[in-house]
Amino acid sequence: DTAVSQTPKYLVTQMGNDKSIKCEQNLGHDTMYWYKQDSKKFLKIMFSYNNKELIINETVPNRFSPKSPDKAHLNLHINSLELGDSAVYFCASSQGQGAYQPQHFGDGTRLSIL
Amino acid sequence: KQEVTQIPAALSVPEGENLVLNCSFTDSAIYNLQWFRQDPGKGLTSLLLIQSSQREQTSGRLNASLDKSSGRSTLYIAASQPGDSATYLCAVGEGGSEKLVFGKGTKLTVNP
């Protein structure tokens, strides 16, 4: 069983569209994250949720809106997609907040904006 | 602002060689330091986590050390194998902000 699963794996879309990425974890963790890995492979945190509560909200355009319906799911909705949004988006989870515990990552969603 | 640097950016070695990957960070106020492995097209796999009070952690052929005062960590891989080929990322758990700050990684190739 996949511990942290993201869908879709690939997403190719036009500039200006709205899209969502879904993430689910079956590890029983209480904290989930979204990271962005750009073309230079630099990985940076975007958001984290603990028990459905937003904990970290980095300087991310408000076109990006995370939603956590329960502590096993954290989805990412992106409005009005721009060329610079092209990247790999990773979901992760951990037991406990922040950087104290090992984080478990999904395989990523590769977003390409045409 | 915490910055994490990994040197070298890429490393190619013959199978069987022992090797060291380096990680440095600018702010010593960290909770822990974590080493991850990333395979092409995949997510990150946690390898080792060293708490700020610890000096090293070992798992199989991997040994990670931490010198918090000098802002350095090393990942030692013994008797490297082709299956070790991947990108290795270092990340520090930032004190206060509860974030992981990542380096850009070292791409390791182990040649048979």
Q: Containing H/E element for B108? A: strand B106-111
**Mean pLDDT, range A91-98, rounded to an integer:** 85
Interface test with A, best of B4, B46, B50 (most A CBs within 10 A): B46
Radius of gyration for the alpha carbons in chain B, expressed in angstroms and rounded: 13
For residue A64, give the nearest of A50, A53, A74 by alpha carbon. Answer: A74
Q: List Cβ neighbours of A18 (8 Å cut-off, separation of 6 or more).
A: A77, A78, A79, A80, A81
Task: Name the token pair of A50.
Answer: 């603990």
Better-scored residue on pLDDT, B69 or A52: B69
Distance of alpha carbon B104 from alpha carbon B4, whole angstroms: 8
pLDDT tier at A100 (50, 70, 90 boundaries)?
A: confident
Contact B99 A97 (CB under 8 A): no
Distance of alpha carbon B59 from alpha carbon A105, whole angstroms: 20
Contact A100 B31 (CB under 8 A): yes
Q: How many helices (H) and strands (E) does chain B have?
A: 0, 11
Phi, psi dihedral angles at A16 (to 5 degrees): 95, -15
pLDDT tier at A88 (50, 70, 90 boundaries)?
A: very high
Distance of alpha carbon A50 from alpha carbon A99, whole angstroms: 12
pLDDT tier at A44 (50, 70, 90 boundaries)?
A: very high
Considering only CB atoms, which chain B residues are within 8 Å of A56? 97-99
- CB neighbours (10 Å) of residue A68? 19
Which residue among B42, B87, B99 sits closest to A99, beta carbon to beta carbon? B99
What's the mean per-residue pLDDT of chain A? 91
Tell the residue number behind the tokens 């990670």, with chain if given: B64
- pLDDT at A99 > cutoff 80: no
* Residue A5: closest C-alpha in chain B: B43
- DSSP letter (8 states) at residue B3: -
Contact A107 B43 (CB under 8 A): yes
Q: What is the pLDDT of residue A1?
A: 62
**Mean pLDDT, range A12-23, rounded to an integer:** 97
Is A60 at the interface with chain B, CB within 8 A? no
β A19-25/B86-94 pair status: unpaired
| Residues pairing with A42 in the sheet | none
Q: What is the pLDDT of residue A98?
A: 63
Contact B99 A104 (CB under 8 A): no
- pLDDT at A97 > cutoff 80: no
Task: Name the token pair of A108.
Answer: 């990523």
Considering only CB atoms, which chain A residues are within 8 Å of B100? 45, 99, 103
Better-scored residue on pLDDT, A59 or A71: A71
> How many Cα neighbours within 13 Å face the side chain of B20?
6
Contact A99 B93 (CB under 8 A): yes
Question: In this structure, are residues B16 and B23 in contact, taking their beta carbons and an 8 Å threshold?
Answer: no
Q: What is the pLDDT of residue A57?
A: 81
* Chain B residues touching chain A at CB-CB below 8 Å: 31-32, 34, 36, 41-46, 49, 87, 89, 91-94, 97-100, 102, 104-105
pLDDT tier at A52 (50, 70, 90 boundaries)?
A: confident
pLDDT, one tens digit for every residue, chain B (112 residues) = 899 999 999 999 999 999 999 999 999 989 899 999 999 888 899 999 999 999 999 999 999 999 999 999 999 999 999 999 999 999 998 877 778 999 999 999 999 9
